[in-house]
Amino acid sequence: MAEAERIIGTPDVDDEAAAPAEQPKGPRKIAMLFAVALVAYVLDLGSKMLVVAKLEHHEPIEIIGDLLKFEAVRNPGAAFGMGEAFTIIFTFIAATVIVVIVRLARKLYSTPWAVALGLLLGGALGNLTDRIFRSPGVFEGAVVDFIAPAHFAVFNLADSAIVCGGILIVLLSFKGLDPDGTVHKD
C-alpha cells in the first residue's frame, strides 16, 4: 500500500520524516529586536539630553586624563566629521536602514541577529532623531557627539550601537548564521 501511495504522489510517514524542515524552528525574535533597539535608543537619547543640558558650552570633563573626555560637539557630517554638506543624504541612509531592518524583522528567528539588528536600529533611530529635530533644521540637524577618546573622532552611544551591531553582523555572517536561524557552510 505504501508503494502505491508513493507512485500516485501521496507521501507516507517515512517520506515526511526524511524531508528537511522548510520553516525555521522556534518563535520569531521581533520583540527582542525591538527591545534591544528601544534600550539603545533611550540610552542614546538620554545621554544626548544630559550632554546638551549640562556639558554644552562648558569645558570638557576629563574621564581618564587626556585619554578620554566628555566634550559636547555638534556633528553635521558622518564619522570623523566628514561629509558636512551631505546631511540630507545621511538622513536618507538612516531612514533606509530603519525600513530594511523593520522589513527583515518578519523573517527573524535568530537571537544573535535580533541583538545585532536591534543595536543597528536603535543607533540609526538615535542619530536620525538628531538629524530631524536638532538645529539647523529638519533633515539637516547636527548629531550630538560627546565621547572623545584621545587621537580619535568624537562619537555618541548611537554610533557605538551601530558599530557593535555591524561587527556582530560580520561575525554572524562569517559563522554562517542567517537571520532566519539557519546555518549554512559556504
Convert the pLDDT of each residue in 72-102 to its tens digit.
999 987 766 677 777 788 888 889 999 999 9
Our answer to whether residue 159 is catalytic in this structure is: yes
Contact 131, 141 (CB under 8 A): yes
Choosing from 15, 66, 130, 159, the catalytic residue is 159
Specify the pLDDT at position 13.
47
On the CB side of 158, how many CA atoms lie within 13 Å of its CA? 26
Q: Residue 183: which residues within 8 A CB-CB, separation 6 or more? A: 175, 176, 177
pLDDT band at residue 115 under the 50/70/90 scheme: very high
14 is catalytic: no
Question: What separation, in Å, do the N-terminal and C-terminal C-alpha atoms of the chain show?
Answer: 41
pLDDT > 90 in the chain, percent: 65
- The catalytic position among 14, 15, 145, 186 is 145
* Residue 65 DSSP SS3: coil
What pLDDT was estimated at residue 137? 82
What mean pLDDT is reported for the chain?
A: 86
**Could you give the CA distance from residue 20 to residue 16 in angstroms, rounded to a whole number?**
8
Other beta carbons within 10 Å of 165: 25
Percent of the chain residues topping a pLDDT of 70: 84
Q: What pTM was estimated for this model as a whole? A: 0.82
- 118: pLDDT confidence band, cut at 50, 70 and 90? very high
Model confidence at 6, pLDDT cuts 50, 70, 90, reads very low
- Interval 32-59 mean pLDDT: 97
